[in-house]
Amino acid sequence: MKAFREVLAAIVCVLSLTVLEGRCESSGPQSRNPGFETYSLNGKWTVCNSNGSLSFSAEVPGCVHTGLLKQGHIQDAYYRFNDLAYRWISLDNWTYTTTFSVPAEIRSKQKVHLVFEGVDTVSSISLNGAALGKTDNMFRRYDFDVQGLLREQGNVLAVALSSAVAYATDRSRAHSAYPVPPDCPPPVQKGECHVNFVRKAQSSFSWDWGPSFPTLGLWGGVRLEAYDSLRLPYLAATPARGGDPSQWSVEAELHCDAVAAAEGSVTLLLPELATQQTFQISLPAGQSRSTFVLPVNKSVEVELWWPRGHGSQRQYNMSVQMKLDGGFAIDTKTLVSFRTVELVQEPIAGSPGLSFYFRINGIPIFLKGSNWIPAHAFQDQVTPSILRNLLQSAADANMNTLRVWGGGVYEQEHFYSLCDQLGVMIWQDFMFACALYPTDSEFIETVRQEVTHQVRRLKSHPSVIVWSANNENEAAIASDWFGIPAPQRPRYVKDYVTLYVDNIREIVQKEDSSRPFLTSSPTNGAESEREGWVARDPYDPHFGDTHFYSYLQDCWDWRGFPRTRFASEYGFQSWPSFSTLQKVSAPEDWSYQSGFSSHRQHHDAGNQQMLEQAKLHFHLPDSPDPLQAYRDTLYLTQVMQAQCVKAQTEFYRRSRSEIIDGQGKTMGALYWQLNDIWQGPSWSSIEFGGKWKMLHYFARDFFAPVLPVGFLDQGLLLIYAVSDLTSDLTLRVVVTVYQWSSLKPVCTLASGAALVSGGSALPLFKQPAAALLAGCGNCTALTCVLTFHLEDSEGQRGPTNHLFLSSPREAQGLQMPNITTSIRQDGGTYEVTLRTSAVAPFLWLDVGDIPGRFDTNGFLMATESRTVRFYPWGPTSASQLSRALQVTSLRGVYRRQP
């Protein structure tokens, strides 16, 4: 009976197409190459559910959720508890259908293929009643030969999507030989089970920072590709440097799909480098790969592509001209960037283990940045402007690296192109995370297709510097996350090697030898390989990269952090601002103890952990106004997060040149995480919608190219100069001591000048803290605070930093500041002048929903006045900003404390 209802629903869905005839985005020819045409089928499609009770028009690319929203069938899926209320959408089956005409110039070609750039996820596809095939992988491109099925008018294309949740459950049950854990996410995540059995964004079934929205839809474009001779599904260009450092070449890789065997020539041109060469080509019928190496003219200087902060991001146009016997010709272009990348794992003097750092163009680079998660649960909502805002925000915070995390999606082309332009390097995971996976032949085959497609698609981007096979799956086995009995462990290690080494690694090495490959993150790298790919301790700080989280120890105490070779994940949670939460909540939700606050928290005990960490160093808010107390608590979680990540990041940056007790030489700090997928608590430094948290403002300073780092070690005050520059500097430290009770400095001290080599961290200031304070007006650790900066002969270099000698909750003399503000427009930006009556730590400026950012925020204000600049992201005015501006200080959130 159920099958009959679904057939009937499909008929209803097809009949409803008559109103949409010709509504596809039929763009017609999209190629200037004679003999090859593309025809877009994007645009309005009809979507129906399994019983025909819902039928509506929806956009392709898109998904069912956004289609339902745009037609008014559901509210904002992010509003309050709608992630649970709309669970039914992901449990149903849906059919996408369109009717279209086909121009004669398409139908007349010898070959016509129907190409799907992204099907989400499990489907059966038919054209004019004929079955074309099935899909089971969100990350693959699907391609069907449809030349004999097309007619001039009334072509009906149907994509019948099955619930990925049901599919994953069925696949798990069918895998009866042995379990493949985990079965389900923790209950706090309110998610779906068995996501490791479906090739889909793993976080779409829920994660500890995001909702469960197992989407269905056509998330990539759909088009016809028609040709008489051949088409080029992939074109890649990767640089290589010869034994002679001045000799560059470009390896051009052409993936051809030819109607018949053909002979001809390929001409590669780099006009800006006065380089051109013609090669003969012999193509078999069907699919083939041809590789040509173009030596670059040595008499022309090649400008290199450099990571952000180390040089420019030069890209060259390369023309590819193919001519085949019979008159067929292709003339296309691609971009080439010249850079080399090496992952250096070699012995270190005075330390066991191996180094782990990246050398770009022969220069060791400290990787500074964060981890990237999907920018929205519904990928069709991730617009170019959203990507630009987030990636520019990363660049503006002095980041040079993002890790595209393995539980999300391989990002769209625009993402990688922007990273190329901005100089933001990409650590690219393959999409496997926090789970074990099946290794049956069907699963392995779809993964092989996925990996091959993604490597071919992305290998030309200079921003991608490393492939990593998964997130935390080596650690999951080594640390026994899933309670696997010891006698059964070899079976899972074997599956791990089969998937990531025998298949993914084998494909990557075949497809792309231009950049390094890692089997996991964290991993011991070469040592993990030596131990059979699953190390005894993948978190060993003497090797590879590490992930480190501890929510119970004091995050200000640097002694609790691992002095690792490379920190690829670490962090602390915070809540977003009230203006961000207000959009998806109701007044009854505006309490830290509300059901909404509990519902949005997907990390076990996360809300309490934030307060416990905050209580170590701050008084908790005590406003008698419940709404103000809530807003103050949100603010305090951001203060706590910012200060915690600052302490840990500065520890890693000052550890770049040192070996202490065999550990150190840290060469990377990527905190978790950059962005949010919805409005809720998470480890992010940027809220959903693009607003900077306090952490992101702090990141702008703690990732500065030149940075002073201060800390206490058994009563000794040390201040390091950290430099990411390639040139040397002669620097001194200037320390200013303030009493909490006064805006006038107590005293100022300076170190002697010293040579700080480029790419190093050097201690410039050492003095017992008690002696320093005693010599500064009888200060104590409770009554005074330090600021410090670096100077050379030309003035200050880098930001001014601060060090609390005791917890602010114990500060003596900290007063309630009287803050006044004035705002004036200065061209396209706005100057905000602040005046204070008292020292104000963590002074926070918030303009609510007005999009934009300040040049600094969350700072220690120790002068009577200070001017900061606001950069709007849209039209606003000084009067609007004045009305919206709210200023919060640490002392202001605990009004009744002494």
Per the CB < 8 A criterion, the answer to whether 673 and 371 are in contact is yes
Res. 26: pLDDT tops 90: no
Q: Is 569 a catalytic residue?
A: yes
Per the CB < 8 A criterion, the answer to whether 380 and 217 are in contact is yes
Task: State how far the Cα of 36 lies from the Cα of 232, in Å rounded to an integer.
Answer: 10
**What's the Cα-to-Cα distance from 40 to each of 123, 124, 142, 644, 692, rounded to whole Å?**
20, 20, 15, 50, 38
Rounded mean pLDDT of 562-586? 98
The pLDDT value recorded for residue 538 is 97
**What's the Cα-to-Cα distance from 629 to each of 296, 383, 632, 894, rounded to whole Å?**
65, 35, 5, 9
Rounded mean pLDDT of 130-134? 98
User: Catalytic residue among 411, 450, 472, 474, which?
Assistant: 472
The pLDDT value recorded for residue 897 is 63
Q: Choose among 704, 710, 691, 728: nearest CA to 872.
A: 691
Res. 244: pLDDT tops 90: no
Q: How confident is the model at residue 29 (pLDDT cuts 50, 70, 90)?
A: very low
Tokens describing residue 455: 């490597």
With a pLDDT cut of 70, the percent of the chain lying above it is 96
Q: Which tens digit of pLDDT belongs to each residue from 289-314?
A: 999 999 999 999 999 999 999 999 99
Q: How many CB atoms lie within 10 A of CB 267?
A: 16
Instruction: State yes or no: cis peptide before 641, omega within 30 of 0.
Output: no
The pLDDT value recorded for residue 450 is 98
Res. 764: pLDDT tops 60: yes
Res. 24: pLDDT tops 50: no
- Mean pLDDT score across all residues of the chain: 95
Sheet containing strand 275-283, strands side by side: 275-283, 262-270, 316-324, 329-336
| Cβ-based neighbours of 131, under 8 Å, separated by 6 or more | 124, 125
Task: State how far the Cα of 257 lies from the Cα of 510, in Å rounded to an integer.
Answer: 19
Task: State how far the Cα of 66 lies from the Cα of 78, in Å rounded to an integer.
Answer: 11
The pLDDT value recorded for residue 614 is 96
The pLDDT value recorded for residue 25 is 41
Res. 56: pLDDT tops 50: yes
Q: Choose among 110, 123, 115: nearest CA to 144.
A: 115
The pLDDT value recorded for residue 769 is 95
| Cβ-based neighbours of 267, under 8 Å, separated by 6 or more | 276, 277, 278, 279, 319, 320, 321, 322, 323
User: Catalytic residue among 6, 59, 569, 687, which?
Assistant: 569
The pLDDT value recorded for residue 4 is 43
Is residue 671 helix, strand or coil?
strand
Backbone angles phi, psi at 834, to 5 degrees: -110, 145
Q: Which tens digit of pLDDT belongs to each residue from 189-232?
A: 999 999 999 999 999 999 999 999 999 999 999 999 999 999 99
